[in-house]
Amino acid sequence: MSLASPLAEPEFAPSIPQRVYPTGMLVALGGILMFFTALFSAWIVRKGLSASQLDVPIALPTALLGLNTAVLLASSATLEIARRKMRAGSIAKFRQWWCVTTALGISFLAGQLAAWRALAVQGLYLASNPDASFFYLFTGAHALHLLGGVVGLLLVAFKPLKQLTLRSATRVSAMYWHFLTIVWIAIFAFLLSAK
């Protein structure tokens, strides 16, 4: 295969139709949505129970979480810039913006570690109280999903694709990444409203 035209369809005929990948991603996103919906429901039920001695209010690192939210929103924007560059045929610029998105995703994860550290400084850990447990559960589950997204971004940027065309790979990656951005905004809004 010639490296001169990376946007050209591969010389081989993929055995799997490209439309299968977005459909598979939609099914996966449905499962992830159900998982986070179950977490939200559990937290709402827990909040509805009578207060106990273990309910110690937690001081969220709101400024840090807000900054993390801005970083994740910026990563969604840079991902769309990368996709536009790819559609325009500029693979070098595509990879540049794709790598910016990946770096922003890694920065978000580092920011989440800092938020967990801020809670640990308060003496709040996973088993400290129900509010701290839910904070760690929400942010940890989201961080694990986002880490998977970062790995996916790196694979699209640097690993030769076999069955998946670059166009399909970027589409599926964008679906996942934007979905996680929306989930994070919901988590952040929920954390703020539950203070």
Amino acid at position 193, single letter: S
36 located within any domain = no
Helix axes 91-121, 62-87, angle to 10 degrees: 170
Q: Is the pLDDT of residue 21 over 60?
A: yes
| Residue 74's pLDDT band (cuts 50, 70, 90) | very high
In DSSP notation, 47-71 reads HHSPP-TT-------HHHHHHHHHH
| Residue 6's pLDDT band (cuts 50, 70, 90) | very low
**pLDDT tens string 122-160:** 888 887 788 888 899 999 999 999 999 999 999 998 886
- Which residue segment(s) compose the domain that 153 sits in? 59-193
13 located within any domain = no
| Residue 20's pLDDT band (cuts 50, 70, 90) | confident
Q: Which range, of 67-71, 102-106, 129-133, 160-164, averages the lowest pLDDT? A: 160-164
4 located within any domain = no
Q: Which range, of 51-60, 65-74, 79-88, 183-192, averages the lowest pLDDT? A: 51-60
Please tell me the distance from the alpha carbon of residue 153 to that of residue 104, in angstroms, as a whole number. 11
10 located within any domain = no
As for how many domains the chain has, the answer is: 1
| Residue 9's pLDDT band (cuts 50, 70, 90) | very low
**pLDDT tens string 156-192:** 988 867 767 888 889 999 999 999 999 999 999 988 8
Residue 154's domain is classified under what CATH number?
A: 1.20.120.80
Q: Is the pLDDT of residue 47 over 80?
A: no
Tokens for 97, please give them: 């913006």
73 located within any domain = yes
pTM over 0.85: no
